[in-house]
Amino acid sequence: MQTLLLWLFYLSSFYAFIPGLITRIFGFRVFRRGTGKQDFALTFDDGPDPVYTPQLLDLLKRYDMKATFFLVGSHAESHPDVVKQIHEEGHLIGIHNYIHKSNWLMRPKTVRMQLKRTDDIIYSVTGERPTFYRPPWGIVNLFDFAKNSGYRIVLWSAMFGDWRSKTGSNKLVKRILRKLKPGEVMLLHDCGTTVGANPDAPMNMLIALEQVLEEAQRRNLKSIRIDTMINSEKKLQKAKLSIMKRMVVSLWLLWEKVFHVLFQLETVTPKDPMLHFRPISYQGKAVTMDDGTRLEKGDQVLELHFDNKKLFHIGSRSRSEMQLAIQMIRAMQKDLPTLANMVLERPEYMDIKGLYGVTMISRGPEQFGFHVQDLPQGLFASSARIYLKILLSIIHPRGQSRLKEGSKKMEPKLLMMPVDVLINRYAEKGSRSYRSPKQDSAEEHELSDLPIGSASQGLSS
């Protein structure tokens, strides 16, 4: 028996108590407060009531305030004319179950049936489906917590005990005025037929609310609908993220300037930079590229770097990933011929065996002649993954959402191009004759009998 009671305790805690505690204390997956400068939200539960709700609507109209009504389905079914008036006067309607019963005491299927029945009643009167839900007493179960209902759950930041007649209007005024601040979501009741409430309690609420609305006008505060408050929150959050993004971009571009100086990067086309590069000694594992060229540790390569400022400007102007890719392709098509001619014309690049780079935007580089492969696992791969994901979240037109589409699609890739491919595909006709490392190796013994100085002069002429 004790074991059974213990299991029942665990089950009830998992199903009801823990989700309720997390939502009420931490606000997880519920909306309960805004951050507006001049707006607060009046919300009313348990209605509609044929006596008190029309009086409330008249009061709100007189002070030009909007509110949100969480309706009990059975009450809405009995008083469709009041539901219609709420809707026509521009207030928001949400669901408060078909009957005022705690979700802790109902199975998930029963809760869904209550929601659907109330939804259908409201839709039949207003022609609109409600999208917001306040469970009775603000109590959620595991399935509400998991957002299986499909509705946005709205709780509150302030409640005042207005369902009890003994509270009185004077005490209510004092309690509400203490919470009359921007961003508050106030819970009041326009019906007193719920178990535990007093039938005449809404009259005290109406008397108190009139004084509160008078004071709200004096303070230049306005009650708005919950959906308006949530949309304002989204815009504000977006603006904050935009400011944060600009700060991050500024710091990133400053770091890029420092990086270019520290590692002596050269720019292919300084007037319109896209590709930067530096000669380095390849330190990775041996790789056989698509044309059979083998890149081994110690070989000389040109390490490529995209211009982050250019990428950011392209990303900010692009409305889709396709537009971003097209702009990058055009920039690459412009820079690769210039880079090929630079390799041909500069004696110091005569030993370069290929191009080398790491990128997160690796769709379609094969069309340029690049060999693409995964980075070998290790510290460099891990750090490159973090760095490039941060960069992509800033420059990509869909930002963070692009990073959630699967880790395999967003893995950094190693790009390599044999120098032969670079020269043959991109160098201008009539450029200086190119001697690849393969040709130099084949003729090495012919030059071995010459003095070092002569060989050097021949290569540098």
- Residue 244 within a domain: no
Q: Same domain, yes or no, for 201 and 294?
A: no
CATH code of the domain in which 84 resides: 3.20.20.370
Report for 91-100, 339-348, 384-393: range of highest mean pLDDT: 91-100
Higher pLDDT: 239 or 42? It is 42
pLDDT given for residue 253 in this prediction: 78
Q: Same domain, yes or no, for 92 and 17?
A: yes
- Residue 248 within a domain: no
Tens of pLDDT along 307-316?
877 877 776 6
Q: Same domain, yes or no, for 394 and 451?
A: yes
State the total domains in the chain. Answer: 2
pLDDT given for residue 25 in this prediction: 53
The DSSP string of 192-208 is --STTS-TTHHHHHHHH
Give strand pairing partners of 266: 277
- Residue 3 within a domain: no
- Residue 242 within a domain: no
Give strand pairing partners of 267: 276
- Cis bond before residue 337 (omega within 30° of 0): no
- Residue 1 within a domain: no
CA 264 to chain centre: 36
Q: Same domain, yes or no, for 158 and 304?
A: no
Q: Same domain, yes or no, for 366 and 228?
A: no
- Count Cα atoms within 13 angstroms, Cβ side, for 48: 27
Q: Same domain, yes or no, for 190 and 274?
A: no
Q: Which of 183, 211, 233 represents a domain boundary (last residue)?
A: 233
- Residue 220 within a domain: yes
Please report which confidence band the pLDDT of residue 380 belongs to, taking 50, 70 and 90 as the band edges. low
Q: Same domain, yes or no, for 289 and 212?
A: no
**Segment 277-293 mean pLDDT:** 87
Q: Which of 212, 233, 254 represents a domain boundary (last residue)?
A: 233
Q: Same domain, yes or no, for 296 and 403?
A: yes
Residue 318: what are its φ and ψ, rounded to 5°? -85, 135
Q: Same domain, yes or no, for 201 and 277?
A: no
Please report which confidence band the pLDDT of residue 338 belongs to, taking 50, 70 and 90 as the band edges. very high
pLDDT for residue 267 is more than 90: yes
Q: Same domain, yes or no, for 221 and 277?
A: no
- Residue 238 within a domain: no
Range of the domain at 319: 263-460
Q: Same domain, yes or no, for 46 and 119?
A: yes
Q: Same domain, yes or no, for 277 and 177?
A: no
- Residue 297 within a domain: yes
**Segment 288-298 mean pLDDT:** 87
pLDDT for residue 8 is more than 50: no
pLDDT given for residue 385 in this prediction: 60
pLDDT for residue 149 is more than 80: no
pLDDT given for residue 449 in this prediction: 32
